[in-house]
Amino acid sequence: MKRMSIRPILIHPDPRLKKHAAPVEGVSDEMRKLAEDMLETMYDAPGIGLAAPQVGVLKRLIVMDAVKEKDAKPQPMVLFNPEVVWTSPERNVYEEGCLSIPEQYAEVERPAEATVRWLSIDGEQQEAKFDKLWATCVQHEIDHLDGVLFIDYLKPLKRQMITRKMQKLKRELAREKA
């Protein structure tokens, strides 16, 4: 039995979070293991989505579970090479956060619905339309694959403020380790 493991999550600012991730060429056992580790890492954090670059792997892979109600059945999703193929003209505003930008939240406006195409963990082509929190989550995670963070949608001053807080947090974490 392969055991899942929790991987360390990169904290902004980190050059790996600003890179364009490469497509996954076929869903190998190694990629499946990565996806399972990412789900484990996401649930542990806890969060509702995680992209491979956030654990330092520059591959186009995201995992998510936007079921928020306590006691509701979990709905883990694994998407290889996800691609937005349609977005609604209607837009929605959600307060977003990010596991790579801990404890910082801000309102971001995005298309309210998005149709996404991807490869499943079994290597099969899938397509689905996402709405509500799922739509925001899937767009936020796909952004990570292109080096885009939710703070990139904020006004420069607010973005700089958050980045400075994260630099301070990283210095503190480094000091704890030393």
Question: 31 vs 98, which CB is nearer to Zn ion?
Answer: 98
Q: Which is nearer to Zn ion, 25 or 140 (CB)?
A: 140
**CA–CA gap between residue 87 and residue 64 (Å, rounded):** 19
CB of 137 to Zn ion, least distance (A): 9
CB of 54 to Zn ion, least distance (A): 6
How crowded is residue 144: how many other Cβ atoms within 10 Å of its Cβ? 23
Nearest distance in Å: CB 99, Zn ion: 6
Name which of 60, 45, 40, 69 is nearest 132 in CA terms.
69
Residue ranges binding Zn ion (CB under 5 A)? 98
Nearer to Zn ion, 49 or 111 (CB): 49
Of 75, 49, 37, 40, nearest in space to 138 by CA: 49
Catalytic residue of the set 69, 113, 141, 172: 141
* Rounded least distance, CB 76 to Zn ion, Å: 17
Residue nearest to Zn ion (CB): 98
**What Rg, from alpha-carbon coordinates, does the chain have?**
16
**Could you write out the DSSP letters of every residue in 35-78?**
HHHHHHHHHHTT-SEEEGGGGT--BSEEEE----STTSPP--EE
SS3 (DSSP) at 63: strand
Active site residue 141: yes
> Between residues 76 and 125, which has the closer beta carbon with respect to Zn ion?
76
Q: Would you name the residues annotated as active-site residues?
A: 141
